[in-house]
Homo-oligomer: A and B are copies of this chain.
Amino acid sequence: MSDEDLQLAPMHRIIKKAGAERVSEEAADELRKALDAIGVRIAKEALDFTRHAHRKTVKAEDIVIALKKVLRD
């Protein structure tokens, strides 16, 4: 696997799922890079909550609260 954590095929499926007729390879790759970066951003916010709770294990609740900091309403 490359340096990117996410794969390309799921990106095509996600964009098609949104209603697209056709998807360029570059668009799929752009979404992959974006979701990878967003994932790291969410994970870093989540880790703040993990540490604040004096835990070493990131839990689902940390991810849920981190989401609110990253996404627009």
A residues with CB within 8 A of B:
5-7, 10-11, 13-15, 17-24, 26-27, 29-31, 34-36, 38-40, 42-44, 46-47, 50, 56-60, 62-64, 67, 69-72
Interface centre among A10, A19, A20, A63 (most CB of B within 10 A): A63
The reply to whether A57 and B14 form a contact with Cβ atoms under 8 Å apart is no
Main secondary structure on chain A at its contact with chain B? helix
Question: Among B5, B20, B56, B60, which residue has its beta carbon within 8 angstroms of that of A10?
Answer: B5
- CB–CB A31/B23 < 8 A: no
A18 vs B47: C-alpha distance when bound (angstroms): 8
Which residues of chain B come closer than 8 Å to A70, judged between CB atoms? 71-72
